[in-house]
Amino acid sequence: MPLLEMKNIRKAFNGVYANEDISLSVDRGEIHALLGENGAGKTTLMNILFGLYAADGGEILWKGRKVHFRSPKEAIAEGIGMVQQHFSLVNRMTVLDNVILNLEGNSFVLKRDQAKTRLLELAGKYGLHVDPDALVSDLTVGERQRVEIIKALYRNAELLILDEPTGVLTPQETAHFFEVLRNLRREGYGIIIITHRMSEILAISDRVTILRDGKKAADLVTSETNAAELSMYMIGRELSEERKAGGAPGTETLFELKGASVHHKHGKSFAPAYLAVRKGEILGIAGVEGNGQKDLAELITGIRKPSSGSLLFKGEDISHMSVKERYKRGICYISDDRQTDSLVTDMSISENLVLRDFAAEPFAKNGMIRKGALLKNAAEKMEKYQIRASGRTGAATPVRLLSGGNQQKLIIARELADDAELIVASQPTRGLDIGATEFVRGLLSEARDAGKSVVLISADLEEIMLLSDRIAVLFGGKIVGVLDREEATVRKLGLLMGGVTEDET
């Protein structure tokens, strides 16, 4: 008897099916991967299971018994735990307090010693090593993830749902995490893992369910399939993950960061010492998030001014130039936070595409906006960059109605202007499905092959290694190593990301 069965689940929003007759089963001692593009219905299906949504039809059998969870509290009580992509921990509390938070009968004055003993037993048994007395704010991302899993196990979860669990882990943390999952599988736990990384699906899962356009496209045994077949079921074609050949990067330096630093009120600082970007190269910036990536992007683009040192672009000191002045010189920015930094979501597609240039010809004349020019530009960009807007409004569609992938394509269409020379691309494929990710990576490679320079900041090490000509690694606000493409290995990069210096590796 399966641990979980979801039969013919249906869910529609405004008459459009997000899930249409989807069936899924998970056995005890099984790691089951859930794969699909953005909007395929994965999150909706898991939200129904976890009691966040009510299904319009179908049934859920939990250990052979028909259930209907009306809230996550009911799902947790039955033994289902969910670890979200963004952790739900209280930073100012200890690991122990986070684990027992909101548990009935566990106050701050009752049973803390017993709780600590049980926590340590779980941690030791499954390799989830954490300090119960440590503040969550002092933990690494990998350690915080362990706390989330311990929380679920402490509540007697028998099925774990893991949403993009390796997105911000180093290679070493990912390898350790997979060992944890294997330990849990041996103990009979059921695990559902949602990930867009084919290599991880093939490495860790037993079976794969693929969703496409709200329907189940396939159920496959992992050992009997491959990445090509998975992509065919998911997007209707094979992925092309090999980098297109291009001319060798030049040796001429386009941009230099010399001793530039940023000091924050809370005491942390970003002081990379020296960094150079050559003409016609993709310089990858690797590192666990929170080690200075945002500071680096904002220093280069002018959002943040250096506390010391200088920045040179084509030999000119641009340290105190504004964002607009740097843009005019050819420095563009694809931000990791598209809604806050890059888009005005209540404005239309055509308007967002000219946020940088709306006051210049051909989009304006004598201080008046030329709507015809805006629409012509939007039509060209929407076709070239495959920006899709639902309904009949086309270029007049408010950006807030676009999917995340289409919003990202819009930003890239605007920032990869003909006169762009240095493109800072921060997490450019985050949250995108596999097809959109391949498209965006192709655009960055084409920009590089056209002689433009790209600073690629990404938490996805596979992406960094696939696209980069050289790779710089950030740790603790400093650049701890710069490797050529040929010498960069997963092991070496992982050690540098963990703070081991280049000499020590």
**CATH numbers and ranges of domains, the chain:** 4-235 (3.40.50.300), 241-330+418-505 (3.40.50.300), 345-416 (no CATH)
Both tokens of residue 59? 């049934």
User: What SS3 state is found at 448?
Assistant: helix
Rounded CA separation 163/194 (Å): 5
Would you state the pLDDT for residue 299? 92
Rounded CA separation 193/208 (Å): 9
How high is the mean pLDDT of the chain? 86
What are the distances in angstroms from CA 474 to CA 36, 141, 262, 341?
Answer: 32, 15, 14, 23
Preceding peptide of 306 cis, ω within 30°: no
pTM: predicted TM-score of the whole model, two decimal places: 0.68
> DSSP label at 391?
S
Q: Name the residue with higher pLDDT: 433 or 377.
A: 377
What are the distances in angstroms from CA 32 to CA 16, 191, 214, 247?
Answer: 27, 6, 18, 42
Rounded CA separation 480/461 (Å): 16
Q: Name the residue with higher pLDDT: 177 or 6.
A: 6
pLDDT per position as a tens digit, 25-74: 999 999 999 988 767 888 889 999 999 999 999 999 999 999 999 999 99
Question: What percent of the chain clears pLDDT 70, i.e. is strictly above it?
Answer: 91
User: What SS3 state is found at 6?
Assistant: strand
Preceding peptide of 2 cis, ω within 30°: no
Would you state the pLDDT for residue 391? 57
User: What SS3 state is found at 287?
Assistant: coil
Q: Name the residue with higher pLDDT: 500 or 34.
A: 34
Q: Are 204 and 193 in contact (CB under 8 A)?
A: yes
pLDDT tops 80 at residue 367: no
Instruction: Taking residues 315-343, report their average pLDDT.
Output: 89
- Pairing, β 80-83 against β 159-163: parallel
pLDDT per position as a tens digit, 78-94: 999 998 766 788 888 99
Would you state the pLDDT for residue 106? 47
Instruction: Taking residues 457-476, report their average pLDDT.
Output: 90
Q: Residue 143: is it exposed, middle or buried by C-beta count within 10 angstroms (0-12/13-18/19+)? A: middle
Would you state the pLDDT for residue 243? 52
